[in-house]
Structure 1
Amino acid sequence: MEYSIDIIIPTYKPDATFEKLISRLQRQTVKPQRILVINTEEVLWEQAEFDKSPFVFGTLAGMKMELYHIRKEEFDHGGTRAWAAGKSQAEYLMFMTQDAMPADQYLIERLLTIMTQDPMIGAAYARQLPTADCGIIERYTREFNYGENSLIKTAEDIPQMGIKTFFCSDVCAMYRRNIYLSVGGFVRHTIFNEDMICAGTMIQKGYKVAYAADARVIHSHNYTAMEQFHRNFDLAVSQTDHPEIFQGIASEGEGMRLVKKTAGYLMKKRYYYLLPKLIWQSGWKYLGYRAGKSYRHLPQKLVLKFTSDKSYWEKRI
């Protein structure tokens, strides 16, 4: 049975990695009907050095290629993706980031396989594998967050899994369009975390969210401690702004479990020299998270200093 699938990829300063992503998508066993690219700043697209011919000709290996340009001040993690989703009539919407690399030719097929197991599954996200240059601590974090076993999450899992019940990542995730629309789609204005907000809404409304461990993308970052601080500040802001999803579901416990597990792993592997780095990074993560939870009580200057997305706050002023 054939299914209609559109892939949506927001881009900003795309490079050869993005070109490689498009190349790997054309070799998938299941191909999308369309790839919609929402690029921030046309001039940066024109300056980028990669093969743009698929977007010039509008087609690649039977896939329709569509390119849309927006200004930087127009970009919003939720709103931009929601706008792009509104241009699709496909049964399934697949969102990716420009640096998510399919690990093999079965990525789309395996996401689709788990989605079609149950019509109540509203979203499915892929496993994220570390890149070759990924640090040891972040490599273990990938393993912690993206295990080897697939699972399907429902509201019944909240007492045991807590906030991880709502976890979903638009680094690579597929959504069933009719369920996506029934829960209102992505929130139109959010600092980020649009994926978890949408997935959490699905869970609350009785739908299911799947993790497809055999659908794999290569994606990781080596963030500094301060970058972790900024990201966790923004994460906490998104949770604070959406109490209808996150209120009463603490996430600090999950973070503490990650720290303990990582410390145990480092000691087992005799990476003792990395323990101070783990403590340092974890401390900044926690400080960022606590500051974000209390952002409404902070001066505007501090908020702008703590966030990783100043343009988001400029829209709120």
Structure 2
Amino acid sequence: MRALAAAALAGVLVAVLPATAALAANPKPDVAVTSAADKANYAVGETFTITVTVKNKSSVDAKHVHYTGGDSEGVDGVVYGELSTGFDLAAGATKTVQLTGKTNHVAWQLGRGYVAFELTADNGEANDADNVTGVRLLVAGAFDDLGGYVFQSESYDAEWTPQTPGVSGVKVVATSADGETKYAEAVTDAKGLFRLAHLPAGEVLLTFTAPAGWKTLAGENGEDDHTPAQVIADDSDEPYIFVPAKKVAVSSPSVSPSASSSSSISPSASSSAGPGLPVTGDNTMLLVGAGTVAVAVGIALALVARRRRVHLQA
């Protein structure tokens, strides 16, 4: 059996080693790409320029590097230039190219547009993880309201219906996506409905603070008290944020023994008693009792001595 296993292992090595050697003899280029916009914010209809940096991290020349596809939103007339026609990139070399386009009304509604794409070479790609890039183009100036419901449920993936009971008294705070800037806050009504007014178009973060006895099941798995949301200008006024909340036990505040013992003594009783004896480490009652006994013994001895004197004189 050992001879058969050894033979099988040798067969595997014989089959794998030539393939490995072939791969080593024919490596592929490794095209890495990054991109950046020329401005932090744009107006509707404004031209943008995206600078794209392409690097060949391999020891093999990349042949005809070009963009193979991508996605975009809120932009018009994107011109890819050399990324469309293609170019060769030597091993270890870096090249900078540009693409241009214009923002449109959709970018204003969403608060941003974006351009994303992928680059590859005709002679292959060694690593698909770093040849994809994208840029967000922020377009400020649009505002709209945002509404939703906090409703009763035991599951984070429950669906809301108009008949579902709501949870009132939940505070909802809208901030920027990074949580740094506060935009607005609201409190849910008896139906669990909340409305946040005049939020900037774009991504916001909603944080929920439930009243005692309730826990909101927000986030992807219902384990958070916050959830991201998208504000779209000129959108429908219908609420579209739905967050479940479940009942939880309310813990009662604990009372410390020292507090309860001190509270059992009324101020009037302590004040009427007058100043008390100082508290020391000795047993005060024992000392008082011993003193009393000593006084009684002294008086008895004095009486006995007096009787003896009277008797002698007689």
Q: TM-score range by the shorter chain?
A: under 0.3
Higher strand share: 2
Q: Which has the larger radius of gyration?
A: 2
Determine which structure has greater relative contact order: mean sequence separation of CA pairs < 8 Å that are 6+ residues apart, divided by chain length: 1
Q: Which has the higher helix share?
A: 1
